[in-house]
Amino acid sequence: MSALHLIRHGPVAELKLDNPGKLNAFTLEMLRAVEPICDDLERDPGILAVIITAADSKAFCAGADILEWSELSPYEFARHWVREGHRVFDRLARLSKPTIAAVGAHAFGGGLEFAATADIRIMAPGATLALPEASVGIVPGWSGTQRLIRLLGEPLVKEMALFGRRISATRAHSIGFAADIAEDPRSFAFECAQKLSARSQHASEVAKYMIHAAVGEDRGAMIETLGAGMISPTDDRNEGVAAFREKRKPNFSGNQS
């Protein structure tokens, strides 16, 4: 049975792709598990970081399961498979917790798009990246031509999407897409995650919001979240709520609590 597992290791959560028989390709069941898992992680103050991994296979993730999407009608393919996949990958990318993808093998198509949702990526020396969609007559659908442009740049994405070039871990590291190359990316990712326990969880969260706002990742929500954080500790906010409950005019002081 294909699955997407959430495994807790103390303050570190592991989000694990588990469909090795199909090179960890995404099924609809796995895709639909992403949002509930993200909601669970957001509500858990004990989780400081999230590691994205995959079951042992020749691929970290070969993308979307062709046998599932090929049976869909054109409307279902666009409306549900592509749009839903884009939405849930966006949800993972906008998780408030720091995320690290341990790419232990090849990441193709949706697998590359999945890894791109992480804040940083650790790749095995032999892992490669690719956008092979054109070889089966489709185009990237889960942010391959959008988020990847920001992370890899237009020329490189064109190499991959138009000409079918595979990108090595060495090249991915040289351009900053991979933070490090390690023989055991999962263990290395856990080491990175454990170091976060010595840092301010709140500072890391706000820094992530600020960076996302700068690059356009859910910019509107990020800006309003930061604004809400500035206004919440003020006396004016408390006075406004009290006045509403007491059905009177507020007397704003302009002071902070």
Active site residues: 113, 133
Cβ–Cβ < 8 Å for 135, 164: yes
The secondary structure of residue 25, as a DSSP letter, is P
Cβ–Cβ < 8 Å for 153, 175: yes
Cα–Cα distance between 59 and 18 in angstroms, integer? 11
* Residue 114 vs residues 11, 61, 119, 159: alpha-carbon distances, Å: 22, 8, 11, 19
Cβ–Cβ < 8 Å for 189, 100: yes
Cβ–Cβ < 8 Å for 103, 121: yes
Query: Which residues, 6 or more positions from 119, have their beta carbon under 8 angstroms from its beta carbon?
Result: 98, 99, 100, 208
Cα–Cα distance between 144 and 131 in angstroms, integer? 8
Instruction: List 50's β-bridge partners, or say none.
Output: 13, 99
**Cβ count near 85 (within 10 Å):** 23
